[in-house]
Structure 1
Amino acid sequence: MAALDFAASDGAAAVARPAAGRQARLRRAAALFLAPAAALMLVLVAFPLADVLWQSLHYANLVDPATSGFAGADNYRTVLEDEDFLPALWNTLTWTGLSVAGEYALGLAAALALAQPIRARAVFRGIVVVPWVIPIAIAGLNWMWLLNPDYGVLNAWLVDLGLIDHPRDWLGQVDTALLTVTLVNIWRSFPFYTISLLAALQAVPRELHEAAAIDGAGTLRRFLVITLPHLKAVSLTLVFMHIVWTAINFDFIWVMTQGGPLNASQTLPVMIYRYAMQDFDVGAACALASMSMGFMAAMFFVYFYGVRRRGGR
Structure 2
Amino acid sequence: MSATQAAVPHAPGAEIARSRSRRSSVTGVAALFLAPTAVLLLLLIAWPLVSVVWQSVRYVNLVDPLTAGFAGLDNFRTILDDEAFLPALVNTAVWTILSVAGEYALGLASAVALAQPIRGRVVFRAIVVVPWVIPIAIAGLNWMWLLNPDYGILNAWMVKAGLLESPRDWLGGIDTSLLTVTFVNVWRSFPFYTISLLAALLAVPNDLHEAAAMDGAGTIRRFFVITFPHLKVVSLTLIFIHVVWTAINFDFIWVMTQGGPLDASQTLPIMIYRYAMQDFDVGAACALASMSMAFMATIFFVYFYAARARGAR
How many Å apart are 1:19 and its aligned residue? 1.9
| Deviation string, structure 1 residues 1-24 (Cα, Å, up to 9, x no partner) | xx99xx699623322322221112
TM alignment of 1:206-285, pairs within 5 A: 206-285=206-285
Structure 1 equivalent of residue 102 of structure 2: 102
Residue type matched to 1:271 in 2?
M
Higher alpha-carbon deviation: 180-189 or 21-30: 21-30
Residue type matched to 1:91 in 2?
N
Residue type matched to 1:154 in 2?
L
Structure 1 equivalent of residue 152 of structure 2: 152
Structure 2 equivalent of residue 116 of structure 1: 116
| Deviation string, structure 1 residues 31-86 (Cα, Å, up to 9, x no partner) | 11111111000000000000000100000111111110100000000000000000
Q: Distance in 2 between matches of 1:296 and 1:35?
A: 28
Does residue 1:73 correspond to 2:81, yes or no? no
Corresponding residue SS for 1:169: coil
Does residue 1:140 correspond to 2:114, yes or no? no
How many Å apart are 1:162 and its aligned residue? 0.6
Residue type matched to 1:141 in 2?
L
Q: Distance in 2 between matches of 1:223 and 1:259?
A: 41
How many Å apart are 1:306 and its aligned residue? 1.0
Q: Which runs of 5+ in 2 are unaligned?
A: none
Residue type matched to 1:163 in 2?
L
Residue type matched to 1:187 in 2?
W
Q: Distance in 2 between matches of 1:31 and 1:304?
A: 26
How many Å apart are 1:132 and its aligned residue? 0.3
Q: Distance in 2 between matches of 1:217 and 1:13?
A: 63
Q: Distance in 1 between matches of 2:8 and 2:80?
A: 71
Residue type matched to 2:107 in 1?
G
User: What is the TM-score with the length of structure 2 in the denominator?
Assistant: 0.97
| Deviation string, structure 1 residues 106-129 (Cα, Å, up to 9, x no partner) | 000000000001111111100000
| Deviation string, structure 1 residues 198-237 (Cα, Å, up to 9, x no partner) | 0111110010000000001111111101111100000000
Q: Which runs of 5+ in 1 are unaligned?
A: none
Structure 2 equivalent of residue 27 of structure 1: 27
Corresponding residue SS for 1:80: helix
RMSD: 1.4
Corresponding residue SS for 1:297: helix
Q: Distance in 2 between matches of 1:174 and 1:243?
A: 24
TM alignment of 1:281-300, pairs within 5 A: 281-300=281-300
Q: Distance in 1 between matches of 2:195 and 2:168?
A: 34
Residue type matched to 1:149 in 2?
P
Structure 2 equivalent of residue 86 of structure 1: 86
Residue type matched to 2:106 in 1?
L
Structure 1 equivalent of residue 312 of structure 2: 312
Q: Distance in 2 between matches of 1:232 and 1:8?
A: 56
Q: Distance in 2 between matches of 1:311 and 1:177?
A: 42
Residue type matched to 1:113 in 2?
A
Residue type matched to 2:52 in 1?
V
Aligned length: 309
Does residue 1:194 correspond to 2:200, yes or no? no
Residue type matched to 1:247 in 2?
A
Corresponding residue SS for 2:263: coil
Residue type matched to 2:292 in 1?
S
Structure 2 equivalent of residue 175 of structure 1: 175
Higher alpha-carbon deviation: 20-29 or 126-135: 20-29
Residue type matched to 1:246 in 2?
T
Corresponding residue SS for 2:60: coil
Residue type matched to 1:11 in 2?
A
Does residue 1:62 correspond to 2:62, yes or no? yes
Q: Distance in 2 between matches of 1:140 and 1:182?
A: 11
Residue type matched to 1:135 in 2?
P
| Deviation string, structure 1 residues 215-265 (Cα, Å, up to 9, x no partner) | 011111111011111000000000000000000000000000000000000
Q: Distance in 2 between matches of 1:52 and 1:259?
A: 23
Structure 2 equivalent of residue 46 of structure 1: 46
